Amino acid sequence: MNSYPNILLLMTDQQRWDAMGCSGGWIETPHMDRIAAEGMRFTQCVTTSPVCISARTSMATGLYPHHTGVWNNMEHTLPPETLTWMQAIREAGYRTSLFGKTHLHPHKGDLRDREHLMHAYGLDDVNEIGGPRASTRVLSHMTAAWQDHGLWEAYRQDFKDRFANKPHMVRPSSLPLAWYADVYVGQQASRYLKNYDRPEPWFCWVSFGGPHEPWDTPAAYANRYDPGKMPAPASRPEDRSDRPRGTIDQRFEQAPQLDPGDVGAMRADYAGNVTLIDDQIGHILSVIEQRGELDNTVIVLTSDHGEHNGDAGLIYKETFLDGAVRVPLLIRTPDSGLAGSVSNTMVEWFDVGPTLVDLAGGEITHDQDARSLGPVLGDPEQPHREESISEYRQECMMMTPEWKIAINAEQEVYLLFDRSHDPYELKNLAGHPEYTDIEKTRLHRLQERLKR
Residue 205 confidence (pLDDT) above 70: yes
Q: Which of 234, 233, 302, 303 is nearest to 266 (CA)?
A: 233
pLDDT of residue 72: 86
* pLDDT at position 336: 77
pLDDT (0 to 100) of residue 451: 82
pLDDT tens readout for residues 161-174: 998 989 899 999 99
Q: Is the pLDDT of residue 2 over 60?
A: no
Q: Which of helix, strand or coil describes residue 267?
A: helix
Looking at residue 365, its pLDDT comes to 94
> Which percentage of the chain shows pLDDT scores above 70?
100
Q: Once rounded to an integer, what is the mean pLDDT over residues 22-39? A: 97
Task: Output the pTM of the full model.
Answer: 0.96
The rounded percent of the chain whose pLDDT value lies above 90 is 93
Of 145, 142, 124, 126, residue with least CA distance to 134: 142
β-pair type (388-392, 395-399):
antiparallel
Number of other residues whose CB lies within 10 A of the CB of residue 137: 14
Does position 1 have pLDDT exceeding 70, yes or no? Answer: no
- On the CB side of 52, CA atoms within 13 Å amount to 28
Position 180 confidence tier, pLDDT thresholds 50, 70, 90 = very high
User: 328 with 17: CB under 8 angstroms?
Assistant: yes
List, for residues 277-302, the tens digit of each pLDDT value.
999 999 999 999 999 999 999 999 99
Q: Check whether 410 has a pLDDT greater than 90.
A: yes
Kind plus residue range of the DSSP H or E element containing 45: strand 45-46
The stretch 440-449 carries a mean pLDDT of: 93
| Section 310-333 average pLDDT | 97
Task: Provide the mean pLDDT of the chain.
Answer: 96
Considering just the CA atoms, what is the radius of gyration of the chain in Å? 21
204: β partners: 8, 97
301 has which bridge partners?
10, 330
pLDDT at 415: 98
Phi, psi angle pair for 325, to nearest 5°:
-100, -20
pLDDT tens column, 337-388:
889 999 999 999 999 999 999 999 999 999 999 999 999 999 989 999 999 9
Q: How far apart are CA 129 and CA 134, in angstroms?
A: 9
d(CA 144, CA 136): 11
Judged against a pLDDT cut of 80, whether residue 452 lies above it is answered with: no
Taken in order of first residue, the domains within the chain and their CATH numbers are 6-385 (3.40.720.10)
